[in-house]
Structure 1
């Protein structure tokens, strides 16, 4: 038994060690690029302009929904209050077989003439992209009926809380850009400190580092689907390319693909980090799943759409930086396998230690093994330091401390999501239809304690 475990130990180490070293070098390269930008003053957050009384032109907000009765009224009401500009138009996508969401949306809209409830001709759920296409057709009808031409479309989700200054930031950034993406700042759910909290850790680092680097090197920006504005002319060009509108209804991650399509058509994209007069990040605040199963389902959809569909639908285009970023985006399935292998290695090591106290630890077998182990340990410490630094910047020291404890939680969810995404992808290859496997939302960041929502 010990002999078999020893063989497994070596094979697991070779596989996990090789890919962990590659991944660590990849992250160190990203850190170096961000550090270089930081030293040159190109990675600092700017100062957000005061919320304008009027916009440079009409802007439409698209909110696709399906079974969002618990949150949509709060979202619409909060957007109406945060963005009172008369030039704003809020279009909410609904389905005829979801009356509860329709009633809730009507309550949130009140008597505000800027809100339009758009009921899809199909029963739901279709896909999020299909719902967005229905909103786009409603926008075209609105333009023809009112003889108005919108400047841009701003995408938001049914559970979002927007920053009052965000509309002014977007309005200004649209000058010279076809796509504008603002940061996403997940709220901390007091009832799910670890599962929901790990999203905050990941976004705090990704939207302060990787997105900043991508903008600096003028590569395609993966839209987050919220806090994302697309110039009206660009949407029209995308619509001419699509069979049903600017968004592909067969895509699970139409938001992610949007940035690549804009880039392919020659449009410029930008990621804007700015802070208000109180130092708060101008971002979209969202409340992510607090249940580990729901988190795995959501991330499985992201991996399925970005890694598997992205390879099929987008391919590998652009220069070396573009391809590198695509490779980083699509590492989800491999990362899940490597993480699972690494945890299996830890289990094997524990079993060997329990079965034979005289068993030589893996790190003392050969010099190169020691070097790999030491490098990975140093890399792990560095990654933890970086995670703590980025989380502390947005959420404070308490959440930065919890961020260390949430690292294995995020790893477990990634493993679960990778397996689920692979199964889902194989099913679609065998002919299964693509469905909107959306996340159920039962809470809203605007209803959380002030500290949790604001952070």
Structure 2
């Protein structure tokens, strides 16, 4: 197997990640392909330092300066892999995608071996690591991935609809990538900001099966998953989520559409993927109404007047919405607790407010970026700084 690791401005983590990955993987036949840029000497030197002492690491330098997009970097790795296979006569079975901050599970590649016999694409769960000192921001990723990778992707896989990839901890058979390539040398859409999401939809459009796998080597053991730290400040979280919203709900929509012939389940799932901007409008209206109610109540109290009585219909609607909110928070807390423990499940309730705040800021930034691309601005790798968890580097 070939493991692709695109890297831009990752000099602080790439060496530790590669070293840990080599130490953790339990598989007889794999190679790491690391994509770097000529104008990023820090990352390039750190990757080469590992490659010099370990033959399983192949550093690929892009032909132009960065940053471009992650997809463009992946295409350079793809062409290098094809050249290597042609030169050696080797037949690589699949490509695995990872980021420079990921902690891999030792059994990951063997799990891919087992499931790629029947599926063209396999996604494993992603488990965000929570920074205790910045639990509100870093933890909201844990809440969202717990719901998505314990429920949403499980349902999508069972329904057989398109399975969007997380960009890490996923594997694609080489025959599927060759069909996406079509002789162009670019199986990954170079203009995409969310090439992982689109890749899953494009594989589905070819009629190839995909599978989401939640598996443990033994009962009670750790989940076979990718673990990593996510952004832990509001600014970095907004930047990352703005890229996701732009790529999925805006520019990606232009390329992938609604999945022609996919049926009601496919349309419904894509609508859920793209609901982010509509959800933000609903959030803004809700918070504005809450603020207005508070101001009105204070004004009535100051004047000594009575507010207008709430009608039966409005009262019933408010009670219904309150019930749905409680149900929603309970579901979020239960999934987080199952993945990270009951304390984090409790923390997930106040973190919902933080997640809403970040979503609103990200939507504004995403719209600005999308409008800029309509006027000719090139998409760029708007990455955030990463850290690697040294405590998890050697053993699970």
| TM-score, normalization by structure 2 | 0.95
1:249-398 alignment, distance < 5 Å: 249-277=190-218, 278-317=220-259, 318-357=262-301, 358-360=305-307, 364-398=309-343
Partner of 1:440: 385
In structure 2, the CA distance between the partners of 1:269 and 1:65, relative to structure 1 (3 Å rule), is: same
| Structure 2 Cα separation of the partners of residues 102 and 118 of structure 1 | 9
| SS of residue paired to 1:356 | helix
Between 1:156-165 and 1:105-114, the stretch displaced more is 105-114
Q: In 2, distance between residues paired with 1:349 and 1:449?
A: 51
Contact 1:69 1:104 in 2 (8 A): yes
Paired position in structure 2 for 1:421:
366
Structure 1 unaligned residues grouped into runs of 5+ = 1-58
Which of the numbers 330, 347, 355 marks the counterpart of 1:402?
A: 347
The Cα of 1:434 is off from its aligned counterpart by: 1.1
Change (3 A) 1:359 1:298: farther
Q: For 2:86, which of 125, 144, 148 is the aligned residue?
A: 144
- Aligned with 2:165 (options 213, 223, 241): 223
Judge conservation of contact 2:103–2:393 (CA < 8 Å) in 1. no
Secondary structure, aligned partner of 1:63: strand
Give the 3 Å change call, closer, same or farther, for CA 81–348 of structure 1 in structure 2: same
Report the equivalent of 2:10: 68
Match of 1:170 in 2: 112
- The 1:282–1:359 alpha-carbon spacing in structure 2 relative to 1, beyond 3 Å, is farther
Partner of 1:117: 59
SS in 2 for 1:432: coil
- The 5 A counterparts of 1:181-260 are 181-240=123-182, 243-260=184-201
Does the C-alpha gap of structure 1 residues 338 and 326 become closer, same or farther in structure 2, counting only changes over 3 Å?
same
8 Å contact 1:186–1:200 — kept in the other structure?
yes
CA contact (8 A) 1:86 1:114 kept: no
Match of 2:376 in 1: 431
Query: 2: distance between equivalents of 1:279 and 1:383?
Result: 29
Instruction: Deviation per CA, 1:88-129: give whole Å up to 9, x if none.
Output: 010000001101001221334452111101111111111100
What RMSD, in angstroms, separates the aligned Cα atoms of the two structures?
A: 1.7
Tell me, yes or no, if the aligned pair for 2:119 and 2:209 is still in contact at 8 Å: yes
Q: Which residue of 1 aligns with 2:73?
A: 131
State the SS of the aligned residue for 2:133: coil
- Could you tell me which runs of 5 or more consecutive residues in structure 2 were left unpaired when the two chains were aligned: none
Q: How many residues align?
A: 390
Q: Contact 1:152/1:232 (CA < 8 Å) preserved in 2?
A: yes
Mapped contact 1:77–1:109 kept (Cα < 8 A): no
Equivalents in 2 of 1:181, 1:266: separation in Å? 17
**Shift in CA distance, 444/197, structure 1 to aligned 2, threshold 3 Å:** same
Displacement after TM superposition at 1:77 (Å): 0.9
Aligned-residue offset at 1:449: 11
Conserved in 2, the CA contact under 8 Å of 1:97 and 1:124? yes
* Distance in 2 of aligned mates of 1:244 and 1:142: 14
Question: Counterparts of 1:68 and 1:341 in 2: how far apart (Å)?
Answer: 40
Give 1:39's aligned residue: none
Residue 435 (structure 1) shift: 1.0
CA contact (8 A) 2:27 2:109 kept: no
Q: Which residue of 2 aligns with 1:48?
A: none
Could you list the per-position Cα deviations for residues 254-275 of structure 1 after superposition, in whole angstroms to 9, with x for gaps in the alignment?
1000011101111100000012
Equivalent-residue separation in structure 2 for 1:112 and 1:386 (angstroms): 46
